[in-house]
Amino acid sequence: MDMPPAFSPIEKRALAEDSFKPEDGEKLNMLGNTFVLWYLENERNREWKDCVKEIGAFESVQGCLAVYLAVKPPSNLAFGYDYMLFKEGVKPMWEDENNRNGGRWRVSIESRKNHSYIRTDSYWHDLMEAFVEGHFADSEDILGIVVNRRSKGDKISVWTRDASNEEATERVGKELKKLLGMPKSDKMAYFAHKMEAGQAEM
């Protein structure tokens, strides 16, 4: 695994494939999709696409746990860094053909609240579990999730396939809000990738 020398989100030295394998007699609990975890390193002198690195892929509950435990929690990332978890075959950028007609629900975490970093980690954990296990009613419409570590307040996003599907988009938003149990200080809005100026405040 090729990690940059200046910073690595990996807690352990490597994500060996053996860590994904079940112990003797244990059966893998397969997920409905294969998922790929990426991270974005903050390098202003490089193109955005060159700053995106793949951490690892998994297709089972055990594999998901191995990846989750191998990386630092979002609150331990340097400001400007992201984690991006997407279904296999979907790149974590809106230009990808799977994302072009989609959008994202974005939760902005109020940084002035005490212990906001705890909410960042909690939101990411709960959202990651709901995403990979298909807990959303419109899980087929959800392509990925993102956490942005920012000095002015972290952000959590859910990327959907079709921004024009208003009913599915609204359902995802309501489920997301219920899942996270957000305080009123944390704000949530939907952005279509093609027209991010058009928000649907919720």
Coil, helix or strand at residue 36 = strand
- Asked whether residue 99 carries a pLDDT value surpassing 80, the answer given is yes
DSSP labels, 12-69: SS---GGGGSPPTTPPP-EEEEEEEEEEE---TTS-GGGGEEEEEEEEEHHHHHHHHH
Tell me the pLDDT band of 22, cut-offs 50, 70 and 90: low
Coil, helix or strand at residue 67 = helix
Residues present in the chain in total: 202
Q: What is the pTM of this model?
A: 0.87
More confident residue, 184 or 22: 184
Q: Which of 5-14, 57-66, 80-89, 145-154 has the lowest mean pLDDT?
A: 5-14
Tell me the pLDDT band of 173, cut-offs 50, 70 and 90: very high
CA–CA distance, 84 with 9 (Å, rounded to integer): 12
Topology of 9-201 in CATH? RNA Cap, Translation Initiation Factor Eif4e (3.30.760)
CA distances from 190 to 31, 71, 85, 94 (A): 27, 28, 19, 14
Tell me the pLDDT band of 200, cut-offs 50, 70 and 90: very low
